[in-house]
Amino acid sequence: MKAGLFERLVGVVGSDHATMRAGDLANYQYDGSADRATPRAVVMPASTAEVAAVVRACVECDCPFVARGAGTGLSGGAVPEGGAVVISMARMCNILEIDPDNRLAVVEPGVVNAHITNAVKHLGLQFVPDPSSQAVCTIGGNIAENSGGLHCLAYGVTSHHVLGCEIVTPQGDIAWLGGKTADAPGYDLLGVFIGSEGTLGIATKVVVKLTPVRQATRTLLAVYDDLAAASLTVSEIVAAGIIPAALEMMDRLSVQAIEEFVHAGFPTDAAAVLIIEVEGLPESALEAAVAVRDLCARCGAREVREARDTAERERIWLGRKSAFGAMGRLSKSYYVADGVIPRTKLPEVLAAVERIGAEYDLRIANVFHAGDGNLHPLIAFDDRKEGDYDKTVAAAADILRHCVKAGGSISGEHGIGIEKRDCMTLQYGDADLRLMANLKAAFNPAALCNPAKIFPTKRTCGESGRLQAAVPQAADARLVSEPAF
Ligand SMILES: Cc1cc2nc3c(=O)[nH]c(=O)nc-3n(C[C@H](O)[C@H](O)[C@H](O)COP(=O)(O)OP(=O)(O)OC[C@H]3O[C@@H](n4cnc5c(N)ncnc54)[C@H](O)[C@@H]3O)c2cc1C
């Protein structure tokens, strides 16, 4: 225990922006996952210099620290295991520069995703990656998780829309990865940083690409009586050479929950619905919409509707974006699984998800980025029922096993964090993990920057994450040592 760290933090950010009060700390114990841990302190720096000073103070006192955006992460990335200091980006929320000629903006990490598009739409521009949480999640969190979104099928995920990042390294130095132009010589450190879940440093400025809004958008809703027919449509559309801007699927249980919640106009008796959005010049968007309609019908859709106006389009998207929240109407607690499969394997893996639900006696709703093959089975459970959570975690692990077996991956966009670190061994061998650990050590040799995330503990995939939090056994020795204060 090193005396005086909190006083040093207060010296950097001021007493109004640092806290050790139990009531305050409780708000920073969690993100959108099931994991919990109490931080030693929370600090809210307002500038890169303050972030660097906070990191240096933590390093000198041998205290772990973790950056936090909006806390919507779904894998425990911002959870301060081991009594880490939470470095909140909430005050670094300014859009610093908008450069329409070069189609870029420079923003602070605490800027909310949707605020970027809101600030540039009068210029006919947008920031494309649009996670369903975009009304609250931050660009710092998006970078850390390499977040995807509803319109990432045609345009790519966060890493495709970030040109550069200023970071504070885990030692407290300030460095730039990439910049305002397309390619930086030397190693692609920006590529390494994006998706590193806050373990390689803290982003303090971000250069994002801005993309012109397309002239025409057509949004179709295809309704199916059979889940497999909907899945088949997804691969048929892409096989036909059409890359929609968005291609989303929801099954019966999620449609029913959404309808109860926001009345988006989805048919509650359908086995599945697809939202398919095509964009481009008016003629090409029309052509693509006609082709999609035709494919949906040939694959067995019972109905294909097109949004007649912006209000109807927005209602459809409100339905999709409310899907996770709507689950709260079905169950007090639910667990969001996240895996990827080749889209041609959708029928097979969705059937496996259904079997797993029956086997574990759990209700599972599916709402997901079907075009990317990015599954989100939402597993309903009862937190108050002994053993229900552990059963849920085991079911989620079985689903991930199927994803890997089908040639996919254990995470599509939510990251590994705490929740899935023990599932890394499903996908990676020792040599792969060693390479990643060496890379982490090159950036973060003292392992104080968001320690113990991503890398497997000694436990096996499918055991309860809560158990791990209670008995920290992470490969990272840092977790086991007494936090410094
Ligand atoms: C309802 C709902 C819907 C969602 N939909 C999607 C979706 O469609 N697509 C998707 O990809 N995700 C989705 N998510 C997950 C989540 O919103 C994203 O992962 C998001 O990017 C997290 O941003 P955040 O600001 O909340 O980050 P946090 O949860 O605060 O942090 C996430 C990680 O980022 C790190 N971090 C935060 N700021 C920085 C920084 N400045 N520098 C370095 N590391 C940092 C943290 O340490 C942590 O490891 C959804 C979540 C919810 C609750």
At residue 470, the pLDDT reads 33
Using DSSP, how many helices (H) and how many strands (E) does the chain show? 17, 20
d(CA 221, CA 212): 25
Q: Measure 47 CA to ligand 1 centroid, in angstroms.
A: 21
Ramachandran angles phi, psi of 84, nearest 5°: -65, 155
- The contacts of residue 482 (CB under 8 Å, 6+ apart) are 1
- pLDDT at residue 479 greater than cutoff 90: no
Atom of ligand 1 nearest to the CA of 110: 41
Radius of gyration of the chain (CA): 22
Contact 406, 341 (CB under 8 A): yes
Percent of residues, the chain, with pLDDT higher than 70: 94
d(CA 21, CA 19): 6
d(CA 306, CA 313): 8
d(CA 280, CA 181): 26
Pocket test for ligand 1, best of 54, 68, 158 (most atoms within 8 A of CB): 68
C-alpha distances (whole Å) from 113 to each of 197, 216, 437 are 17, 23, 30
Q: Contacts from 266-271 at CB under 8 Å and sequence distance 24+? A: 266/221, 266/319, 267/223, 267/303, 270/223, 270/224, 270/225, 270/302, 271/224, 271/225, 271/226, 271/227, 271/230
Q: Measure 59 CA to ligand 1 centroid, in angstroms.
A: 25
Q: Measure 229 CA to ligand 1 centroid, in angstroms.
A: 33
Q: Which CATH class is domain 5-90+437-480?
A: alpha beta
- The full set of domain ranges for the chain reads 5-90+437-480, 95-212, 216-325, 331-419
Place 467 in a pLDDT band, splitting at 50, 70 and 90: very low
Q: Name the percent of the chain in helix, strand, coil, to the closest 5.
A: 40, 20, 40
Is 150 buried (19+), middle (13-18) or exposed (0-12) by CB count in 10 A?
buried
Topology (CATH level 3) of domain 95-212? 3.30.465
Contact 213, 262 (CB under 8 A): no
Judge if 5-90+437-480 and 95-212 fold alike in CATH terms: no
Structure tokens at 331: 């169950």
Mean pLDDT score, 14-39: 96
At residue 337, the pLDDT reads 92
Atom of ligand 1 nearest to the CA of 158: 11
Q: Measure 326 CA to ligand 1 centroid, in angstroms.
A: 19
pLDDT per residue over 27-57, tens digit each? Answer: 999 999 989 999 999 999 999 999 999 999 9
Say which amino acid occupies 480: V
d(CA 335, CA 76): 12
Q: Measure 40 CA to ligand 1 centroid, in angstroms.
A: 22
Mean pLDDT score, 60-88: 97
User: β-pairing, 85-88 with 42-43?
Assistant: parallel
Say which amino acid occupies 135: A
Mean pLDDT score, 94-121: 98
- pLDDT at residue 273 greater than cutoff 80: yes
Contact 98, 119 (CB under 8 A): yes
By alpha-carbon position, which residue is closest to atom 8 of ligand 1? 131
Q: Measure 81 CA to ligand 1 centroid, in angstroms.
A: 17
By alpha-carbon position, which residue is closest to atom 28 of ligand 1? 71
| 460 or 268: which leads in pLDDT | 268
Q: Which residues line ligand 1 (CB under 6 A)?
A: 31-32, 66-74, 77-78, 89, 109, 131-133, 137-138, 140-142, 144-145, 147-149, 197-198, 202-203, 324, 413-414, 450
By alpha-carbon position, which residue is closest to atom 21 of ligand 1? 142
* Greatest pairwise CA separation for the chain in angstroms: 70
Atom of ligand 1 nearest to the CA of 109: 41
By alpha-carbon position, which residue is closest to atom 2 of ligand 1? 133
List the one residue out of 57, 46, 48, 52 whose CA is nearest residue 9: 57
d(CA 308, CA 145): 35
Mean pLDDT score, 166-195: 95
List the one residue out of 64, 56, 18, 11 whose CA is nearest residue 485: 64
Place 329 in a pLDDT band, splitting at 50, 70 and 90: confident
Instruction: Give the global pTM.
Output: 0.92
Atom of ligand 1 nearest to the CA of 139: 25
- pLDDT at residue 383 greater than cutoff 90: no
Residues in the chain: 485
Q: Measure 141 CA to ligand 1 centroid, in angstroms.
A: 4
- pLDDT at residue 480 greater than cutoff 80: no
Mean pLDDT score, 282-295: 96
pLDDT per residue over 166-176, tens digit each? Answer: 999 999 999 99
Where does 216-325 sit in CATH, by number? 3.30.70.3450
Place 184 in a pLDDT band, splitting at 50, 70 and 90: confident
Q: Measure 257 CA to ligand 1 centroid, in angstroms.
A: 24
Mean of all residue pLDDT scores within the chain? 92
At residue 471, the pLDDT reads 32
Atom of ligand 1 nearest to the CA of 198: 44
CA 339 from chain center: how many Å? 12
Q: Which residues pair with 178 in a beta bridge?
A: 164
Which CATH architecture best describes the domain 331-419?
Answer: 2-Layer Sandwich (3.30)
Structure tokens at 33: 């996952």
Q: Measure 14 CA to ligand 1 centroid, in angstroms.
A: 27
Place 354 in a pLDDT band, splitting at 50, 70 and 90: very high
Q: Measure 380 CA to ligand 1 centroid, in angstroms.
A: 22
Structure tokens at 392: 């849920």
Atom of ligand 1 nearest to the CA of 73: 29
